[in-house]
Chains A and B, each alone.
Chain A
Amino acid sequence: GAGVSQTPSNKVTEKGKYVELRCDPISGHTALYWYRQSLGQGPEFLIYFQGTGAADDSGLPNDRFFAVRPEGSVSTLKIQRTERGDSAVYLCASSQTRNQPQHFGDGTRLSIL
């Protein structure tokens, strides 16, 4: 079956711009996670959705970052007033329910010039 799909695969934009990154989880998966992976590092947790609600957003670095999942399926990570330090690979994962393995997408590589 289809895995976790993330679009775009690459995004290049200028400092100060607004970006949206999309994640389409595996069908039927109620849990969805966003992580950020900087060069040479392991992924770092950003936010976790259970259904439509953000169950844990403790990893969002500041108020420029926001994520939604309005219908409990597709999620969008939104970054306002982008900074060069936001450049990273943004990974999305989904799992069937609590305490089930997380399945990762291939990520969106975001480059802020």
Chain B
Amino acid sequence: AQSVTQLGSHVSVSEGALVLLRCNYSSSVPPYLFWYVQYPNQGLQLLLKYTSAATLVKGINGFEAEFKKSETSFHLTKPSAHMSDAAEYFCAVSDPGGSEKLVFGKGMKLTVNP
């Protein structure tokens, strides 16, 4: 079975500071990994995905994530936070050879302070 761990539920940064959102996964097969962002009362928007190509993945809005197999991690980073980045962020894993379902973490709410 696959699972995703996002430790904590809330992170707060200052505008212009580094954003680091942690994600660790558990999977018995090489996984596909995703980061989604959710703004209030909206659905989820794909930020970036890892599908076994380059381990450093660049996404939209200046975000990137690095797949580290040895650490079973897929942490999300952005060098400089913007007020518009305030949202909830979800890490997800899927088994590319099995069901298409996404298994999500509990999410991390990002607050950006002026």
A residues in contact with B17, CB < 8 Å: none
- Among B41, B96, B100, B106, max chain A CB count under 10 A is at B100
Whether a CB of chain A sits under 8 angstroms from the CB of B49 is: yes
B residues in contact with A44, CB < 8 Å: 104
Interface size class of B (residues with CB under 8 A): 20 to 34
Bound-state CA distance A91–B43 (Å) is 7
Interface residues of B in 68-107 (CB under 8 A from A): 90, 92, 96, 99-107
Given known contacts A43-B90, A99-B32, A99-B51, is B100 in contact with A91 (CB within 8 Å)? Answer: no
Whether a CB of chain A sits under 8 angstroms from the CB of B28 is: no
B99 touches A41 (CB 8 A): no
Other-chain residue from B43, B45, B49 in contact with A107 (beta carbon distance below 8 A): B43
Q: How many residues of A contact B (CB 8 A)?
A: 28
A105 touches B104 (CB 8 A): no
A98 touches B107 (CB 8 A): no
B102 touches A40 (CB 8 A): no
Instruction: Please give the distance in Å from A62's CB to the nearest CB on chain B.
Output: 18
Whether a CB of chain B sits under 8 angstroms from the CB of A75 is: no
A99 touches B104 (CB 8 A): no
Q: Using a CB–CB distance below 8 Å, which chain A residues touch chain B?
A: 4, 31, 33, 35, 40-45, 48, 50, 55-56, 58-59, 91, 93, 95, 98-99, 101-107
A residues in contact with B43, CB < 8 Å: 4, 91, 93, 104-107
B residues in contact with A95, CB < 8 Å: 100
Whether a CB of chain A sits under 8 angstroms from the CB of B42 is: yes
Bound-state CA distance A97–B107 (Å) is 26
Instruction: Please give the distance in Å from B48's CB to the nearest CB on chain A.
Output: 10
